[in-house]
Amino acid sequence: MFSMDLLLGAVVLGVLLGCFYAAVSVGLSVSFGLLDVPHVAHPAFLVLASYGVYQLNDSYDLDPLLAGLAITPLLFLFGLLAYRVYYETFEKRGSDAGVRGIAFFFGIAFIIEVLIILQFGVDQRSVTANYIGKSWRFGEFRVPIRQLVAFAVALALTVVLAVYLSKTFMGRAIRAVAQDEEALRLMGANPVRIKQFAFGIATAVLGIAGALLIIVAPVEPTLDRAYIGRTFCVVVMAGLGSISGTLIAAIILGVAESIVLTMFGASWAPAISFAMLLGVLAVRPQGLLGR
By CB under 8 A, name the one of 118, 169, 182, 188 that touches other proteins.
118
For residue 156, give Cα distances in angstroms to 145, 160, 222, 228. 17, 6, 28, 23
Contact between 285 and other proteins (CB under 8 A)? yes
The least CB distance from residue 43 to other proteins, in Å, is: 11
CB 227 within 8 A of CB 39: no
The least CB distance from residue 22 to other proteins, in Å, is: 19
CA distance 249 to 233: 8
Contact between 73 and other proteins (CB under 8 A)? no
By CB under 8 A, name the one of 7, 275, 288, 289 that touches other proteins.
275
Phi-psi region of 144 (alpha: psi -120 to 50; beta: other; left: phi over 0): beta
CA distance 64 to 50: 9
By CB under 8 A, name the one of 7, 69, 274, 291 that touches other proteins.
274
Nearest to 10 by CA among 274, 291, 255: 255
Q: What is the DSSP letter of 137?
A: E
Q: Which of residues 221-240 bind other proteins (CB under 8 A)?
A: 225-226, 228-229, 232, 236
The size of the interface with other proteins (CB under 8 A), counted in residues, is 40
By CB under 8 A, name the one of 102, 145, 148, 159 that touches other proteins.
102
Contact between 40 and other proteins (CB under 8 A)? yes
The least CB distance from residue 72 to other proteins, in Å, is: 25
**If residue 141 lies in a helix (H) or strand (E), which one and from where to where?**
strand 141-144
Nearest to 66 by CA among 77, 79, 52: 52
Binding site for other proteins (CB under 8 A): 32, 38, 40, 85, 89, 95-96, 98-100, 102-104, 106-108, 110-111, 113-115, 117-118, 225-226, 228-229, 232, 236, 267-268, 270-271, 274-275, 277-278, 281-282, 285
